[in-house]
Amino acid sequence: MKRYWLETYGCQMNKAESGSLELGLRERGWRPAGQLDEAELVILNTCSVRATAEERVWGRLGYFKAQKARAARLGRPLRVVLLGCMGERLKEELLAQAPHVDVLAGTFQKHLLLEALEEEPRAEGGGRLSLTAREPYRFAPRHSPGEPGEFRAFLPIMHGCDNFCAYCIVPYVRGPEVSREPAGILEELARLKASRVREVTLLGQNVNSYRSGGLDFPGLLERLLPELPQSPEPTWLRFLTSHPKDLSPRLEALLAGGGALCRHLHLPVQHGSDRVLQAMGRGYTGGSYLQLAQRLRKEVPELVLTTDILIGFPGETEEDFRLTLELMEQVRFDDAFTYRYNPREGTRAFKLSDDVPGQVKQQRLAEVIRLQRRISSERRRGRLGRVVRVLVEAPSRKGGGELLARTEGDETVVFPGSPQLIGHFTQVRLLQLVGHTFRGEPIP
């Protein structure tokens, strides 16, 4: 039995693409290794959004170099494959500094990888394969899940980004926006339904820019929603990520309609200062974002609104930073991913001086996190006592006959219940908040 060891870094798109790769590997007779010692193939699917993600992979490459040398001494082949955004961005460095990488693939050639792996491992010191030529991105027909018992799935609908926000490497490593044809999306959705998936997340760097086969994003949702009947059991539909400048009234109306579409929106604001937002090239102001958020809150009262916040962009003053805290207080996000600006070579902001000292970035980030924790907790407390529908995911990590489930807004709930509920929907009353996790009681 051939065994592989796969590590995936970064965004959900990488996770979906790794899912597709695993399906292909299984079809070719590969199985995941329980531990590294059993593997004859190591695959790293990498991320370049922040330097820290890249540094981790460089560290892992060092480790796998030693593992490969050890395996060779034992007469066992170990091939190392690196793919994804680092392969795209750092091809030359990787070829020069990581000679133990046997196959290097960027973001556009992932589909060639499986064939390349069919070839016999090359002799030590032999040629290496670099699959980094640019060609139009191809969507794999399936991304996951391949296993019964996996009931949440990602479904990529578009790839790449045309926005070129000043700080962001994505448009360079993932290339221009491409939308997937509706027929391919419908086919994959039908397969997921047949495998009893209960929650599908449509993926793209900027899903609201979707345009294919005469459909825009709301049009695509209108086409997909009737495919997700709500009885005998529902299938939830979510989407990630939306750009505030492209959110249309039709999409707002669809969210308000509820049904299969989760009332959950991840809408990265990044910052609260108009000056910084303009320098970032985001295409909206703090005021217009607030208006949009207030309208959404009014039209979709149950909406769980989450965001990304990026602190320490070049030139950010204390006043700019305060405006961000103010906007957070006004919008009252249910949750936020918070980041510290990190210069990425090749982006527009890389030419600006990274002038906010590290310690100041750290303090500001800590303040943002503290504020968001308070707001998240207040918003969640406001819902205690309500009965909500949840999708049961797994036994709770602490055991004790408790289950872990997720709400429509992707929040965690722990409650006592039978393991037979795993993979199904049920109703729970939200009773208590422990940290960010709800504790609930089942409703018969």
Q: List residues near ligand SAM by CB under 6 A.
A: 11, 49-50, 167-168, 170, 205-206, 241, 243, 268, 270, 308, 310, 339, 341-342, 344
Tokens standing for 279? Answer: 């320098």
Q: At closest approach, how far in Å is the CB of 382 from ligand SF4?
A: 30
Measured from the CB atom, is 7 or 308 closer to ligand SAM?
308
How far apart (Å, rounded) are the C-alpha atoms in residues 29 and 114?
A: 12
Measured from the CB atom, is 341 or 415 closer to ligand SF4?
341
251 binds ligand SF4 (CB under 6 A): no
Residue facing ligand SAM at closest CB distance:
268
**Which residues from 226-245 bind ligand SF4, rule CB under 6 A?**
243
Measured from the CB atom, is 71 or 85 closer to ligand SAM?
85
Helix (H) or strand (E) holding 155, with range, is strand 152-156
Collapsing DSSP states into helix, strand and coil, what is residue 62?
A: helix
CB within 8 Å of 58: residues ≥ 6 apart: none
50 binds, among ligand SAM, ligand SF4, none (CB under 5 to 8 A by kind): ligand SAM
State the residue for tokens 């221009």.
176
For residues 261 and 254, is the Cβ–Cβ distance under 8 A?
yes
Tell me how many residues contact ligand SF4 (CB under 6 A). Answer: 10
How far apart (Å, rounded) are the C-alpha atoms in residues 196 and 175?
A: 33
49 binds, among ligand SF4, ligand SAM, none (CB under 5 to 8 A by kind): ligand SAM
How far apart (Å, rounded) are the C-alpha atoms in residues 179 and 208?
A: 11
82 binds, among ligand SAM, ligand SF4, none (CB under 5 to 8 A by kind): none
163 binds ligand SF4 (CB under 6 A): yes
210 binds, among ligand SAM, ligand SF4, none (CB under 5 to 8 A by kind): none
Tokens standing for 204? Answer: 């793209």
Q: At closest approach, how far in Å is the CB of 125 from ligand SAM?
A: 38
Interacting residue with ligand SF4 among 81, 83, 86, 168 (CB under 6 A):
168
Tokens standing for 8? Answer: 């995936």
206 binds ligand SF4 (CB under 6 A): yes
Task: Using alpha carbons, select from 177, 185, 90 the residue that is nearest to residue 141.
Answer: 185
Neighbours of 420 (CB within 10 A): 8
List the end-to-end C-alpha distance of the chain, in Å, as a whole number.
46
Residues that bind ligand SF4 (CB under 6 A): 161, 163-165, 168, 170-171, 205-206, 243
